[in-house]
Amino acid sequence: MIATYYLILFYFSILLTVVYVCLWHRHFNVNFSLIYAFVPIVNVGYVFMSRASILQEYILAVKIIYIGGCFLILFITLNIYDICCIRVTRTIRLIALLISFMVYLSVFSIGRLPIFYKDITATAGDNGLIVVKTYGIMHSVFYGLVIIYLALGMGAIIYSFVNKNEVSKRTVILFFVPELITIIAFFGQKAFGINNFELVPAAYVFAQFMYLLIAHRSCMYDVADTSIDSIIETGDTGFISLDFAKNYLGSNQVAKNIFNELEDIRIDTPITGSPSLNEAFMSRLEAFDKDGRDDKFFYNKDDRIYLVDINHLYDEGVKKGYQMVITDDTQNQKYIKMLDNYNADLEREVEDKTRDIVRINNNLIKSMAVMVESRDNSTGGHIVRTSDVVEILMDEIVKDKEFTENRGITKDFVKAIIKAAPLHDIGKIAVDDAVLRKPGRFTDEEFEKMKQHAPEGAKVLRKILEGTNDAYFKVLAENIAHYHHERMDGSGYPQGLKGDEIPIEARIMAIADVYDALVSKRVYKDAMSFEEADSIMMESMGKHFDKSLEKYYVAARPRIEKYYTDIEQA
């Protein structure tokens, strides 16, 4: 019967782990994954223990079981601290892990040294082994470690419930329940008079279930976890996120400056609790629900007029709630009021405003690329230099009218390729830091991961530019990001395209990209001389690069070399 109890718990732990894997989101805390990996291991230890027929089998099962006490409690505690936004330094995490590891090493002395168990004996009984054990000093240390971890976790839960508005009370309560049950399971078993089976594995399985609810919810709370949010956070655009129940999920500082009531409202509470927010948004959200086209309204505060744009909040392509984007539209509204009497002046001001918007848009695009590049230790300034080299190449290409006409290279193409060039490596945002920031050459496996930045870049741009009124730029930008590592002979990646299968914009980008890589210093190599780089470029024409672009590269080479010389001397 006891063996069946442990076996059922093991199956449940496996089932919950499978559910977690199916729900996995890249924003999930790593400790969630560790918990779901370790609980089935611990529970299988209890299954082995219940079926042990000799002492050696029982000891082996115990060694598996103590993984839970030594490591699972640590992961649970760290998970609480992370979700409750309480910072734990890497040094403290490492020290805690080492202490747990040292305690767990002492578990391996069972049956050999009187460190963890002073003595352990077993005799055969009607219902299995009857084990008698005397605890040693390290077992007391183990219990002390468990007490410390559980106390730290419970303290963080209580502190967050009382003091931290940025943490949902619902999440805190969801943490409190399994934490309390784990404490009861560890220390209340004897008080309940339960001696023939363990409560701890059941507590772990229950915690798995509760953490599924927490993990699913937690990834919605960090409203600045994408690159676009980070750019907006430092700009003049505000945003507010709500779930479909009109519960507040978060906002940036710009929005809080406009709607001061956001400073006092708690995460995961309905905005109806604030009269001013209720008045400002509820009727608009209801109208948006009825007619998705009714998605804009103006909000007046002091002498400013703000445009509020309501959109759906998406997570992994699934609608999760609402996001309101707030921009200062005061100047535009003033222009509209002046229209009747000052039409000529207004047109000039609108032109100026349009240039500003274009400039801001271009700066936003460059900022996105710079942000991605800032994660890469080895390519500082790469996007700026390659963009400038693309512009120099285009200056030579447009001189050949016959070539441009045959290849469909128009003025719009020239503007678009120069504007899109900084985005060619934006897919690196999806590359793991351990690979992207590696201070040296990649292994084959790491290089395969790095290759994914090309298709990922196209995917990111497709989402970012979705709905843009400049469809031409959208297609061209995606092509550059996706195909700038393809080669004319078909040996490139990600699709092994060859010849004219590769879009012309990607072929032009490839020349600038490779040239900069050759003449720039990287963590794994020194910069090449112009002569060495040019020799490689010329040898690669027709193989790596489009042979028809060779003459434009040759014509542009003096300007390109002067450009890099000026950079070195600056």
Q: Which residues contact 111 (CB under 8 A, 6 or more apart)?
A: 55, 56, 59, 117, 120
- Contact of 31 with 211, CB cutoff 8 Å: no
Distance in angstroms (rounded) separating the CA atoms of residues 65 and 71:
11
The token duo for 134 is 């005397």
Q: Which residues contact 143 (CB under 8 A, 6 or more apart)?
A: none
Asked whether residue 353 is domain-assigned, the answer is: no
* Phi/psi of residue 220, nearest 5 degrees: -85, -20
Residues 244 and 211 in one domain: no
Among 139, 149, 165, 167, which Cα is nearest to 96's? 149
Residues 44 and 163 in one domain: yes
Burial of 282 (0-12, 13-18, 19+ CB in 10 A): middle
Which domain CATH number covers 263?
Answer: 3.30.450.20
* SS3 state of residue 110: coil
Among 91, 88, 50, which Cα is nearest to 196's? 50
Asked whether residue 154 is domain-assigned, the answer is: yes
The token duo for 9 is 């718990």
Among 179, 157, 177, 178, which Cα is nearest to 168's? 157
pTM, whole model, 2 decimals?
Answer: 0.44
Residues 108 and 233 in one domain: no
Structural domain ending residue among the three candidates 295, 328, 361? 328
Q: If you count them, how many residues does the chain have?
A: 570
Which domain CATH number covers 195?
Answer: 1.20.1070.10
Residues 51 and 132 in one domain: yes
Structural domain ending residue among the three candidates 218, 242, 265? 218
* The amino acid at 353: K
Residues 201 and 245 in one domain: no
Q: Which residues contact 464 (CB under 8 A, 6 or more apart)?
A: 228, 368
Asked whether residue 70 is domain-assigned, the answer is: yes
Distance in angstroms (rounded) separating the CA atoms of residues 260 and 233:
17
Residues 237 and 189 in one domain: no
**At 72, which helix (H) or strand (E)?**
none
Distance in angstroms (rounded) separating the CA atoms of residues 76 and 78:
6
Distance in angstroms (rounded) separating the CA atoms of residues 173 and 131:
39
pLDDT at 280: 87
Q: Which residues contact 91 (CB under 8 A, 6 or more apart)?
A: none
Distance in angstroms (rounded) separating the CA atoms of residues 424 and 517:
14
Number of neighbours of residue 78 by Cβ within 10 angstroms: 24
Asked whether residue 439 is domain-assigned, the answer is: yes
Provide the total of helices (H) and of strands (E) in the chain, helices listed first: 23, 7
Q: What is the 3-state secondary structure (H, E, C) of 112-167?
A: CCCCCEEEEEEEEECCEEEEEEEECHHHHHHHHHHHHHHHHHHHHHHHHHHHCCCC
- Contact of 271 with 277, CB cutoff 8 Å: yes
- Contact of 481 with 451, CB cutoff 8 Å: no
Residues 133 and 104 in one domain: yes
Question: Could you list the pLDDT tens digit for every one of the 570 residues in the chain?
Answer: 788 888 999 999 999 999 888 877 666 778 888 888 999 999 999 899 888 889 998 899 999 999 888 898 899 899 889 888 888 999 999 999 999 999 999 998 898 889 999 999 888 877 778 888 899 999 999 989 989 998 998 999 999 888 888 778 888 888 888 888 888 887 776 666 566 778 888 888 998 888 888 876 665 555 445 445 555 555 578 889 999 989 998 888 888 888 888 888 888 899 888 888 888 888 889 888 887 777 888 888 888 889 999 988 887 678 889 988 898 888 887 777 766 565 666 677 767 776 666 666 666 666 666 666 665 555 557 888 999 999 999 999 999 999 999 998 999 999 999 989 988 988 888 888 777 777 777 888 988 988 999 999 999 888 888 877 788 889 999 999 999 999 999 999 999 999 999 999 999 999 999 999 999 887 767 889 999 999 999 999 999 999 999 999 999 999 999 999 998 886
pLDDT at 555: 96
* Phi/psi of residue 515, nearest 5 degrees: -60, -45
pLDDT at 226: 46
Which domain CATH number covers 467?
Answer: 1.10.3210.10
Asked whether residue 233 is domain-assigned, the answer is: yes
pLDDT at 376: 57
Tally the domains of the chain: 3
Distance in angstroms (rounded) separating the CA atoms of residues 242 and 325:
12
Distance in angstroms (rounded) separating the CA atoms of residues 295 and 311:
7
Distance in angstroms (rounded) separating the CA atoms of residues 90 and 325:
36
Residues 316 and 433 in one domain: no
**At 301, which helix (H) or strand (E)?**
strand 296-301
DSSP lists the bridge partners of residue 250 as 241
Q: What share of the chain is helix, strand, coil (3-state, %, to 5)?
A: 65, 10, 25
Identify the residue whose tokens are 């109208």. 287
Burial of 190 (0-12, 13-18, 19+ CB in 10 A): exposed
Asked whether residue 360 is domain-assigned, the answer is: no
Residues 407 and 432 in one domain: yes
> What residues make up the domain containing 452?
375-569
Residues 101 and 168 in one domain: yes
Structural domain ending residue among the three candidates 265, 298, 328? 328
pLDDT at 52: 87
Q: Starting at the edge strand that comes first in sequence, how are the strands of the sheet with 304-315 ordered?
A: 248-251, 238-243, 318-328, 304-315, 296-301
Residues 235 and 214 in one domain: no
Residues 9 and 119 in one domain: yes
pLDDT at 452: 92
